[in-house]
């Protein structure tokens, strides 16, 4: 069994907090120089936001920084980034993304790789379990979060662009 990663554990703690608030359990942290500088969680349900995914929340919580700053950060996220979050990662040229799991949603990993982002997938059981619990309870909210309508789920169109 791999050693626990304190940064991924911090992202998982954010996901747990989001689930406890009734939200979608996706958490993220931004690491720079071996320290967590910002954390976030999906707050779309809690705040009525259309864009507040975990990665976006962490970036917002980090605040404005010089463009060069992001280029030495690592983003840890419990779920593979969607196209919106991948766009932010590419915009700020975050060079490395550590992903808790990508089975539930494959995200935009290939897009990130094509642009030189180093992707590391941990396939973490707790990350999968938190999302599975939420999806069982709130499938419509999950579909909305990833931009699906019911017939697309039935047709197997869950993919990451």
Q: Over its length of 161 residues, how does the chain's per-residue pLDDT go in tens digits?
A: 567 899 999 999 999 999 999 999 999 999 999 999 999 999 999 999 999 999 999 999 999 999 999 999 999 999 999 999 999 999 999 999 999 999 999 999 999 999 999 999 999 999 999 999 999 999 888 888 887 776 655 555 444 44
Query: Is 55 assigned a catalytic role?
Result: yes
Nearest to 78 by CA among 137, 28, 112: 28
Cα separation, 161 vs 108, whole angstroms: 6
Q: What is the pLDDT of residue 96?
A: 99
Q: What is the pLDDT of residue 2?
A: 64
Evaluate whether 143 touches 149 at the Cβ level (below 8 Å): yes
Cα separation, 80 vs 102, whole angstroms: 5
Q: What is the pLDDT of residue 159?
A: 47
Cα separation, 7 vs 91, whole angstroms: 23
Q: What is the pLDDT of residue 144?
A: 86
Q: Give the CATH fold of the 6-154 domain.
A: Cytidine Deaminase; domain 2 (3.40.140)
Cα separation, 66 vs 143, whole angstroms: 35
Residue 22, SS3 per DSSP: coil
* Residue showing tokens 């969680």: 41
* Residue showing tokens 């980034």: 81
Q: What is the pLDDT of residue 32?
A: 98
- What global pTM score does this model have? 0.91
Which of 3, 9, 21, 55 is the catalytic position?
55
């Amino acid at each position: 069994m791999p050693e626990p990663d304190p940064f991924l554990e911090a992202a998982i703690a954010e996901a747990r907090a989001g689930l406890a608030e009734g939200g979608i359990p996706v958490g993220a942290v931004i690491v720079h120089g071996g320290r967590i500088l910002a954390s976030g969680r999906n707050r779309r349900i809690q705040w009525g936001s259309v864009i507040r995914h975990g990665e976006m929340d962490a970036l917002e919580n980090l605040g404005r920084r010089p463009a060069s700053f992001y280029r030495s950060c690592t983003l840890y996220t419990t779920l593979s980034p969607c196209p919106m979050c991948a766009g932010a990662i590419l915009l700020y040229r975050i060079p490395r993304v550590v992903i808790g799991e990508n089975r539930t949603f494959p995200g935009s990993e290939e897009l990130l790789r094509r642009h030189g982002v180093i992707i590391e997938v941990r396939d973490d059981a707790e990350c999968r379990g938190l999302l599975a619990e939420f999806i069982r309870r709130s499938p419509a909210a999950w579909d909305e979060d990833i931009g699906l309508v019911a017939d697309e789920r039935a047709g197997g169109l869950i993919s990451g662009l």
